[in-house]
Amino acid sequence: MMSRALHVLLVEDDDDDFLLVSAMARKLPGWTLERVSDADAALEKLRVDPTYDACLLDLRLGAEDGFEVLASARAAGYAAPVIVLTGASERETINRALTAGAADYLVKGVFDENSLERAVRFAVAQHHLSIAHVARAEAEAAARAMDELVATLSHELRAPLHTMRLAIAALAAPSLGEAERGRAKTLLERGLGRLERTVEDLLDAARSERGELAVERKPVDLASVARSATEALRTLHPTRTLDLSVEECAPILGDALRLEQVVENLVGNALRHASDASVCVRVRCDGDHAFLRVEDDGPGFPPQLLGRVFDRFAKGEVAHRRGGGLGLGLAIVRAIAEAHEATITASNDGPNGGAAVTLSFRRG
């Protein structure tokens, strides 16, 4: 069986050692060996051509330290195996190399072409196996995420459709009184509104993924935006405590409708995940910046979720159990913030350790 071709970089400053390794490589089928003699040339080679199957690295490059080359190569993104060449089988040196990311080691003057072949091919095989495992895990995670999305989307669509079906059936009843007819129409309108929001969230998520989220930038009064959105939300959630605290700031360049969507998404997220909490919308000014903040006094973001709350489909366990939306609201908020060149942060420094999301806009 013909051996798989190997493209190997040798980093070796000693000409005699290079000739020995080169002579071994010529005896090995499928080998292509390139040599560089110093750290800078090695890092440039690995940067320009990261397709080397493996790198043979002398740990002593004159005045340079092979460990630094190894660390710099890893930091630069070279992920293929590095096998270090050392002049002595010193346990401390070998352990240090393996800890630094070397796949294996060979002792100069001891290894021959057979041990060289075994070491490199085994390291390359292990590397390919690791890549395959990562790819498989990512594929499985993607499949689980898709299954979860389909299940969540089915719930998000089925619930309003069921409500609308009941409302339509009620409206068809000839004996329905005016009060009952009014309630049925309200249920129908709410169901339609929920369907429209779900579809718009999906479309906005797709637009933001393609970098096509439409934002019209013109002078906007952030305090007025917060007031308008909060008043509408109070009408939709009359039993919830929704406070407003605003400072009058110089206008920012933004899209009023999109900024209202930010408030709606943030407040909606807080009301959904902190069912008994009070929510507050705040606008304040500080120097050249205006800040929009939505906070609550609920349990806060789950610690394991805090670093990825703005990712698409990211939801905590409580949200999963309650059917808490598609997990797109905060991702859309981030996309709108980025379109406004605003910074956005999530934290648990709201009242009593509650959740808070803050957007910072440059004024003027």
Residue 320: pLDDT above 70?
no
The Cβ of residue 62 has, within 10 Å, a number of other Cβ atoms equal to 11
Q: What is the pLDDT of residue 315?
A: 59
Average pLDDT for 144-153: 72
- Reduced to 3 states (helix: H, G, I; strand: E, B; else coil), residue 98 is helix
Domain containing residue 289: CATH number: 3.30.565.10
Stretch 328-347: mean pLDDT, rounded? 89
Same domain, 222 and 358: yes
Which of 181, 209, 237 is the last residue before a domain boundary?
Answer: 209
Domain CATH code at residue 74:
3.40.50.2300
Q: Is the pLDDT of residue 150 over 60?
A: yes
Indicate if 349 and 231 belong to the same structural domain: yes
CA distances from 306 to 217, 300, 322 (A): 30, 9, 19
**Residue 84 is part of which domain span?**
6-111
Residue spans of beta strands (DSSP E) within the chain? 6-11, 31-36, 54-58, 60-61, 64-65, 82-86, 104-107, 218-220, 242-246, 252-254, 279-286, 289-296, 343-347, 356-362
Q: Are 230 and 305 found together in one domain?
A: yes
Q: Tokens for 303? A: 């610690």
Residues 227 and 357 in one domain: yes
Residues 57 and 182 in one domain: no
Q: 3-class SS at 7?
A: strand
Distance CA 127, CA 52 (A): 12
Higher pLDDT, 256 or 147: 256
Domain holding 175: CATH number? 1.10.287
196 and 242 co-located in one domain: no
Q: What's the number of domains the chain is made of?
A: 3
Q: What's the whole-number average pLDDT of the chain?
A: 85
314 or 14, which is more confident? Answer: 14
Closest CA to 314 of 356, 349, 324: 324
Instruction: Note whether residue 140 is domain-resident.
Output: no
**Are 100 and 156 in a shared domain?**
no
DSSP string, 299-342: S-S-TTTGGGTTSTT---HHHHHHT---S-HHHHHHHHHHHTT-
Same domain, 198 and 271: no
Using pLDDT thresholds of 50, 70 and 90, give the confidence band for residue 208. Answer: confident
> Are 28 and 53 a contacting pair, CB within 8 Å?
no
* CA dist list (Å): 201 to 90, 204, 245: 60, 5, 28
Residue in 21, 119, 127 with CA at minimum distance from that of residue 78: 127
Cα separation, 285 vs 217, in Å, equals 20
Q: Per residue in 269-278, pLDDT tens?
A: 888 887 788 9
**In a domain? residue 320:** yes
In a domain, 130, yes or no: no
The pLDDT tens digits for 256-292 are 988 998 998 899 888 888 778 899 999 999 988 999 9
Q: Of 89, 111, 133, at which residue does a domain stop?
A: 111
Which among 209, 234, 263 is the end of a domain?
Answer: 209
Does residue 138 sit within a domain?
no
Hey, how many other C-beta atoms are within 10 angstroms of the C-beta on 108? 18
- Number of other CB atoms surrounding residue 352 within 10 Å: 12
Looking at the fold, whether 226 and 357 belong to one and the same domain comes out as: yes
Closest CA to 17 of 62, 74, 65: 62
Q: Got the DSSP string for 35-74?
A: EE-SHHHHHHHHHH-TT-SEEEEESEETTEEHHHHHHHHH
Q: Within 13 Å and on the Cβ side, how many CA atoms surround 42?
A: 30
257, 268 in Cβ contact below 8 A?
Answer: no
In the predicted model, is pLDDT for residue 151 greater than 80? no
The answer to the question of residue 10 being in a domain is yes
Same domain, 240 and 316: yes
- Calculate mean pLDDT across residues 322-330: 64
358 and 226, same domain (yes or no): yes
- Could you read off the pLDDT of 53-97 as tens digits, one per residue? 999 998 887 656 788 888 888 887 888 899 999 877 677 888 888
Residue 11 falls within a domain, yes or no?
Answer: yes
Give yes or no for a contact between 113 and 24, defined as CB atoms under 8 angstroms apart.
yes
Residue 180 domain-assigned (yes or no): yes
Question: Which residues lie below 8 Å from residue 194, measured CB to CB, with a gap of 6+?
Answer: 156, 159, 160
Please check the confidence at residue 3 and state whether its pLDDT lies above 90: no
Q: Are residues 93 and 20 located together in one domain of the fold?
A: yes
Whether 45 is in a domain gets the answer yes
